A and B are shown apart, each in its own frame.
Chain A
C-alpha cells in the first residue's frame, strides 16, 4: 500500500468515527411542554440527559392547592436516520423534595398523574397529550415529559417545577 493510500485510509477511518459520534449525539426530539394554571402558564423547551437534570434552567410555576391545571406536551421526532422501535414516552407529575431537583423520583410514590406511550419513532413523527389535573397537597412537584429506550447515549425531556401553595 502506498503512503497516499494509507493516509487516505486513515482519513476515511477518522471521518467515519466523527460521523458515527455525531450521529449518536444528534438531536432526536423536540418536546414543548406547557403547564397552565388559572391565571398563568409556563413553557419548557427540550433538554437532554446526561448530564443529570439537563443544562437548561427549569421554569417554575406557582399555583394554589386544588387549582385546576392543564399539562400539555408535543414531542416531534427530528432524528432523521431511520425508525427507532419501541420508544417509550412518559409524561407525569410527581412530588419532589425541592425545586431544581436533578434526580427524577422512582415514580412509585407521590405520583399525581402519569401516562406512557410505547411506539415506533419514524422521522418527523409526533406524539402529544393534554390532561387536566389538580394537586391537593402543598409542596414541590415536577412536571415532566421524556423519552426512554431511544437506543441512544442520551434521552430528551422537558420539565417544569410546580410549587403548590
Chain B
C-alpha cells in the first residue's frame, strides 16, 4: 500500500511538473534558406518565469524559406491524449517582443492538428514561406490546452525572421 502510494506520488510529480530544463515534450522549429539553417534553441514552457531565448534569422524580401517543425513526446512512460499542436508564421512589431502577435487575417501561415502521443512518438511538418514585406516575423510551434489539464503547462519553440 505504501509502495503503491509512493509510485502514484512519483508518477504525479513526473507528469505534472517537469520544470523548464526537462520538458516531456520537445518542440523544434528549423528554418532553412539558401544554404543557411537555424534551429530553435530549446523547448520553452508556458507559463514560465524564464525569458525565452531568441534565434533570429535575417533574410531578404522574397527569399524562399523552408520551415520544419517537430513535436516529440520524449517521456518514457506517459501517453498524452488529444494534444493540440499549433504552428504559425506571423508578422510581429519587433524581434523579441513578449506579447504574441494577433493571429488574425494577416497570418502568413497557420496550422493545427490533434493527436495522441504515446511515449517516444512524434509528429512533424514542413511548409514553404516567402515573406514579401520587410519587418519582423515569428515562426512558432506550440501545444495548446495542456496547461488547463493536470500537466499544468504548454510548450513552444520559435525562430524569428528579420526581413530586410
**A109 → B minimal CB distance (Å):** 13
Contact mask for chain A residues 102-129; partner B; CB cutoff 8 A; 1 contact, 0 none:
0000000001011111111010011111
Chain B residue contacts of A129, Cβ below 8 A:
109-112, 127
Chain B residue with the shortest CB-CB distance to A113: B128
- Judging by beta carbons under 8 Å apart, are A130 and B110 in contact? yes
Query: Would B114 and A127 count as touching, CB distance under 8 A?
Result: yes
Describe B's contact surface by its main secondary structure: strand
Chain B residues closer than 8 Å to A119, beta-carbon distance? 113, 115, 123
Question: Is the C-beta of A83 less than 8 angstroms from some C-beta in chain B?
Answer: yes
Within 8 Å CB of B93, what residues of A? none
Contact of A120 among B116, B128, B130 (CB under 8 A): B116
Interface contact A128-B111, CB-CB below 8 Å: yes
The answer to whether A117 and B109 touch across the interface, beta carbons within 8 angstroms, is: no
Q: Is the CB of B108 within 8 A of A127?
A: no
How many pairs of A and B residues are in contact by the CB < 8 Å rule? Answer: 66
**Contacting residues, chain A, for B17 (C-beta < 8 A):** none
Q: Is the CB of B116 within 8 A of A83?
A: yes
Q: Chain A contact residues: over half helix, strand or loop, or mixed? A: strand
Residues of B contacting A127 with CB < 8 Å?
A: 111-114
Report Cα–Cα, A114/B128, bound state, in Å. Answer: 6
Interface presence of A132 (CB below 8 A): yes
Q: Which residue of A115, A120, A126 is within 8 Å of B127 (Cβ)?
A: A115
State whether A111 touches B123 (Cβ < 8 A). no
* B111:A122 contact, CB within 8 angstroms: no
Q: Does B107 contact A (CB under 8 A)?
A: yes
A132:B128 contact, CB within 8 angstroms: no
Q: What CA separation (Å) do A10 and B124 show in the bound complex?
A: 46
Q: Are A114 and B115 in contact (CB under 8 A)?
A: no
Which residue of chain A is the closest to B114 with respect to CB atoms? Answer: A125
Nearest 9 A/B pairs, CB to CB: A129-B111, A115-B127, A127-B113, A117-B125, A119-B123, A131-B109, A125-B114, A116-B126, A130-B110
- The 5 sampled A-B contact pairs (Cβ below 8 Å) are A83-B116, A118-B125, A119-B113, A125-B113, A127-B113
